[in-house]
Chains A and B, each alone.
Chain A
C-alpha cells in the first residue's frame, strides 16, 4: 500500500538532489524499487514515454508517477518536480553570487559524475533481473545501437523491439 506522503517525499528528494533531465532516476529507482512501489518495467516504460513525448526530459517522472500510482501519482510527481524549480527562483539571487566560485563548479561537476555512475548502477540492476535472458539482451543491444546512431526515430526503435520480442518470444 503506497503512502502518498512518503511517495511524494521520495519524488521531492530525488528532484531536489538532481541536476535536471533523467538525473533523478537513480534515486527514484533505489527508493521505489526498494519499497516495492514500482517495478523495473515501469521505469523502462516511463523513460520511453519521456523520450517520445515533447517537452523537457524531466517530465518522464510524471509518467512514472502515473504508472506506479495512477492519477494521484502523476499529480504528486508533477508537484514534486515543480517545487525545486520554484525554490531555485527563490534562492537564485544568492546562487548567482556563488555559482562562479570554483568550489561550487567543482561540486556541480562531482554531482554530474555521480549521476553517470548511478545510472550505471540502474543498468546493472536491470541486467541482473531474473527475467533477463540472451534474447532480451540481444533486443536491448540492437535498440541501443540504433538509438546511438541517432538516425532512427525512437518510435521506430520501439516498434522494431516489439517485433523482435514477438519473433523471439512469441514464436520461439
Chain B
C-alpha cells in the first residue's frame, strides 16, 4: 500500500522539483492536508478529492507543464 502511494507520489515530487520550491511546498501541504482531513475530520473521500480539485485549479493553474503531466499520468496506469 505504501509502495503504491510512493509510486503515485514520485512523478508529482519530480514535477514539484522542476517547478520550484513553492510549488513543491504547496503540493506537500495539499497532500498532507488531504490525509489529515480524512484521518481527523473523517470526511468522505469524494469530498476531499473534489476539494483538492478545486484548490488545485485555484493554486496550480498559473503554471502549465503538458509533457510532464502526460508522463505522470502514463506512469500511474
Contact = CB atoms under 8 A, between A and B. Distances in A.
A and B interact physically? yes
Interface of A: 13, 17, 19-23, 25-27, 30-31, 43-44, 47, 56-58, 100-124, 126, 140, 144, 147-148
Interface residues of B, number: 45
B45 to A, nearest CB: 4
Given A30-B38, A116-B12, A144-B3, A103 B57 contact: yes
A20 B77 contact: yes
Nearest to B74: A20
A140 B3 CA distance: 11
A126 B5 CA distance: 14
B5 A119 contact: yes
B49 interface: yes
B56 A121 contact: no
B56 A108 contact: yes
Given A105-B65, A114-B34, A124-B39, 17 more contacts: A19-B73, A31-B45, A104-B57, A105-B66, A106-B56, A110-B52, A110-B56, A111-B56, A112-B72, A114-B51, A114-B53, A116-B12, A119-B1, A123-B5, A126-B1, A144-B3, A147-B3
A120 B27 contact: no
Contacts of B45: 17, 26-27, 30-31, 118
A22 B4 contact: yes
Contacts of A115: 8, 49
A52 to B, nearest CB: 13
Interface of A is mostly: helix
Contacts of B32: 117
The interface centre, meaning the residue of A27, A57, A103, A118 with most chain B CB atoms within 10 A of its CB, is: A118
B18 to A, nearest CB: 13
A148 B27 contact: no
Given A118-B34, A119-B8, A106 B52 contact: no
